[in-house]
Amino acid sequence: MRRNILKILIIILLHILLLYATLLQNIQRGDYMPNIKPVSDLRNYNEVLQNVDIGQPVFLTKNGRGRYAVLDIRDYEKTQATLKLISKLSKGEQSAIEKGWQSADDVEARLGVIT
């Protein structure tokens, strides 16, 4: 079980590093410009919403400071799923620390996995 949790965590970390590296490359090439607008632009909310796309949120400012982020629902759902997964992994790890780790063979037997 511990190996599986570590594999999942490594995959998540690699995914985050890949996204970060891609973002840095885009910034260095000048391809990434955050879409920042004053909250007063919401008077014409259709135009603001047209600028929202997957991976491209619109940041709204109030009095010159970042206040809100409008993002595509798929980005929101992906973020929520990632947070939920990390929370469950953390609970599993804490349980393993408190109660001890199970061997992969024990987990497979408990789940009825045939290898």
According to DSSP, residue 41 is labeled G
| Domain residue limits at 4 | 1-32
Q: Which residues of 6-24 are buried (b: 16+ CB within 10 A; e: fewer)?
A: eeeeeeeeeeeeeeeeeee
39 and 28 within one domain: no
Query: Is 115 a member of any domain?
Result: no
pLDDT tens digits, 45-59: 898 999 888 778 899
43 and 14 within one domain: no
pLDDT tens digits, 57-96: 899 999 989 999 999 999 899 889 888 888 888 888 888 8
Query: Is 82 a member of any domain?
Result: no
Instruction: In whole angstroms, give the CA distance from residue 48 to residue 40.
Output: 10
pLDDT band at 100 (very low <50, low <70, confident <90, very high): confident
H/E segment holding residue 76: helix 73-99
**How confident is the model at residue 21, as a pLDDT?**
74
| Tokens 């909310």 sit on residue | 45
Query: Is 42 a member of any domain?
Result: yes
pLDDT tens digits, 21-41: 776 776 666 666 788 999 999
Q: What is the pTM of this model?
A: 0.59
5 and 26 within one domain: yes
2 and 15 within one domain: yes
Number of domains in the chain: 2
- 70 closest CA partner among 78, 61, 81, 82: 61
**How confident is the model at residue 32, as a pLDDT?**
65
Query: Is 17 a member of any domain?
Result: yes
**How confident is the model at residue 41, as a pLDDT?**
93
**How confident is the model at residue 37, as a pLDDT?**
93
Query: Is 40 a member of any domain?
Result: yes
27 and 38 within one domain: no
